[in-house]
């Protein structure tokens, strides 16, 4: 097995060759001998493989970012694809998350026949288990009715063995019951908060998954926020020159803590 770059900090690639079909397990361990992540744990065919996996040390831990997609013999491979169906053709009870090929109804002949030919265990994972087909209408502040995405028909199809992504997507997207099909979403954590008190003291940011949100947006200075609180200091380093109007008050510092979380000047993600 070849690992490059080696040593690595945030990103590395793994390449290996199987001379015969075999069960493969590739896991990452820290210097204490503790397993922190499993990249592969499947039966694989003989061939050349490359795993493009982004790993980031964040607060002393490793985070997996994209090992479900890899290169094998110059083909992009994956164990899963995301599919949205045009209508309700999967019979999974409301609130339950998993089904199988047998969960397809009689109206899903194309996709059911295609998946059955692989002769392997295939799992259907519902993206939002409690989503209902009729949860698609929304009335905005102007009284206008808007149609939302029907999340009840979005599933992850998980294969037992890796598949050529290009071939699978090409076949499935042609099916009449399919609205769209796409590769697994690949995430990349590339921001580290520079707040010395982030780790340990600000547990609530992890609770609300702020790290994930920072990878989508880090805010906009044009957005105005109204904070109703009892006290604070308008020239505090966290929010210096951020107050537009109103009184900071003088009863304690809870208000400035709230304002600091909402409108911090320094990079915090």
Task: Give the pLDDT confidence score for residue 44 in this predicted structure.
Answer: 77
Q: What average pLDDT score do residues 33-50 get?
A: 72
In sequence order, what are the residues at sequence separation of 6 or more whose Cβ sits closer than 8 angstroms to the Cβ of residue 33? none
The residue length of the chain stands at: 269
Q: What is the pLDDT of residues 125-184, one digit of tens each?
A: 998 888 888 777 778 778 888 877 888 899 999 998 888 999 999 999 999 999 999 988
pLDDT at residue number 114: 95
Please state whether the predicted TM-score (pTM) of the whole model is above 0.85.
Answer: no
Question: Can you give the pLDDT at residue 64?
Answer: 39
3-state helix, strand, coil in the chain (%, to 5): 20, 35, 50
Q: Which residues, other chains included, contact 44 with Cβ-Cβ below 8 Å and sequence gap of 6+?
A: 18, 21, 22, 23, 24, 161, 162
Could you identify the residue written with the tokens 């949205």?
Answer: 84
Q: In this predicted model, what pLDDT tens digit does every residue of 73-87 receive, in sequence order?
A: 778 888 889 999 998
């Amino acid at each position: 097995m070849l690992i490059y770059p080696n040593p690595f900090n945030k990103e590395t690639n793994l390449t290996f060759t199987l001379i015969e079909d075999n069960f493969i397990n590739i896991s990452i361990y820290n210097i204490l001998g503790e397993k922190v992540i499993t990249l592969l744990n499947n039966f694989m065919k003989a061939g050349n493989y490359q795993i493009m996996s982004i790993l980031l040390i964040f607060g002393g831990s490793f985070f997996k970012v994209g090992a479900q997609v890899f290169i094998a013999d110059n083909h992009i491979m994956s164990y899963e694809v995301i599919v949205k169906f045009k209508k309700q053709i999967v019979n999974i009870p409301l609130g339950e998350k998993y089904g199988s090929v047998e969960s397809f109804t009689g109206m899903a002949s194309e996709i059911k026949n295609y998946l059955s030919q692989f002769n392997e265990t295939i799992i259907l994972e519902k993206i939002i288990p409690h989503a209902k087909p009729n949860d698609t209408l929304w009335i905005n502040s102007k009284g206008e009715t808007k149609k939302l995405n029907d999340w009840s028909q979005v599933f992850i199809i998980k294969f037992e063995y890796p598949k050529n992504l290009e071939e699978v997507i090409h076949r499935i997207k042609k099916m009449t019951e399919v609205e769209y099909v796409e590769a697994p979403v690949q995430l990349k954590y590339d921001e580290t908060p520079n707040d010395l008190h982030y780790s340990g003291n600000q547990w609530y940011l992890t609770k609300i998954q702020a790290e994930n949100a920072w990878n989508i947006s880090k805010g906009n200075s044009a957005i105005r926020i109204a904070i109703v609180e009892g006290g604070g200091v308008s020239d505090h380093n966290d929010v210096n020159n951020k107050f537009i109007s109103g009184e900071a008050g003088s009863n304690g510092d809870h208000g400035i803590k709230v304002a600091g979380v909402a409108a911090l000047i320094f990079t915090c993600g």
